[in-house]
């Protein structure tokens, strides 16, 4: 399964005591493919450093950059601009479409607009509903 992970979910799946840690562990075990872009990695780094520490952010980024099942999509050749209320979230949609992913994992309500857009079809799954 190939997924794009919104930053709000990344922050929840990396702590060792998180009930969602199994997702990060599945990535480490090669059970899922995780799609990133330079923009996504920059946001991950910024928010991991803010919520945890600079060292922790560096550690997670090194893992993501070096794992063979992390799919790096650069550059994005088309920007869909589907999310008006938080345009910064469009980078996740663009990565999803460009990588032919199976889902965007997000708890962000701004992604709800995608249900009403007929093309491209974007599959968004809440973190609690994600299964592999």
Contacts of 102 (CB under 8 A, 6+ apart): 1, 2, 3, 123
The whole-number pLDDT of residue 81 equals 64
Task: Give the angle subtended at the CA of 23 by the CAs of 22 and 26, to the nearest 5°.
Answer: 85
The whole-number pLDDT of residue 86 equals 62
Domain locations in the chain? 2-129
Homologous superfamily of 2-129? 5'-nuclease (3.40.50.1010)
- Mind listing the pLDDT tens digit of every residue in the chain (132 residues)? 999 999 999 999 999 999 999 999 999 999 999 999 999 999 999 999 999 999 999 999 999 999 999 999 986 666 766 666 766 688 999 999 899 999 999 997 676 766 777 677 788 899 999 998
How far is 89 from 131, CA to CA, in rounded Å? 23
Q: For the whole prediction, is pTM greater than 0.75?
A: yes
Give the 3-state secondary structure of residue 126.
Answer: coil
């Amino acid at each position: 399964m190939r997924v794009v992970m919104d930053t709000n979910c990344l922050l929840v799946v990396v702590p060792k005591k998180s009930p969602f840690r199994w997702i990060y562990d599945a990535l480490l075990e090669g059970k899922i493919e995780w799609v990133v872009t330079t923009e996504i990695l920059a946001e991950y780094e910024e928010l991991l450093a803010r919520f945890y520490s600079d060292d922790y952010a560096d550690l997670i980024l090194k893992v993501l950059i070096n794992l063979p099942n992390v799919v790096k999509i650069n550059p994005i050749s088309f920007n869909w601009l589907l999310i008006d209320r938080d345009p910064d979230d469009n980078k996740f949609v663009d990565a999803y479409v460009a990588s032919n992913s199976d889902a965007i994992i997000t708890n962000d309500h701004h992604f709800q607009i995608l249900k009403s857009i007929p093309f491209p079809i974007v599959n968004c799954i809440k973190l609690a509903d994600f299964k592999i």
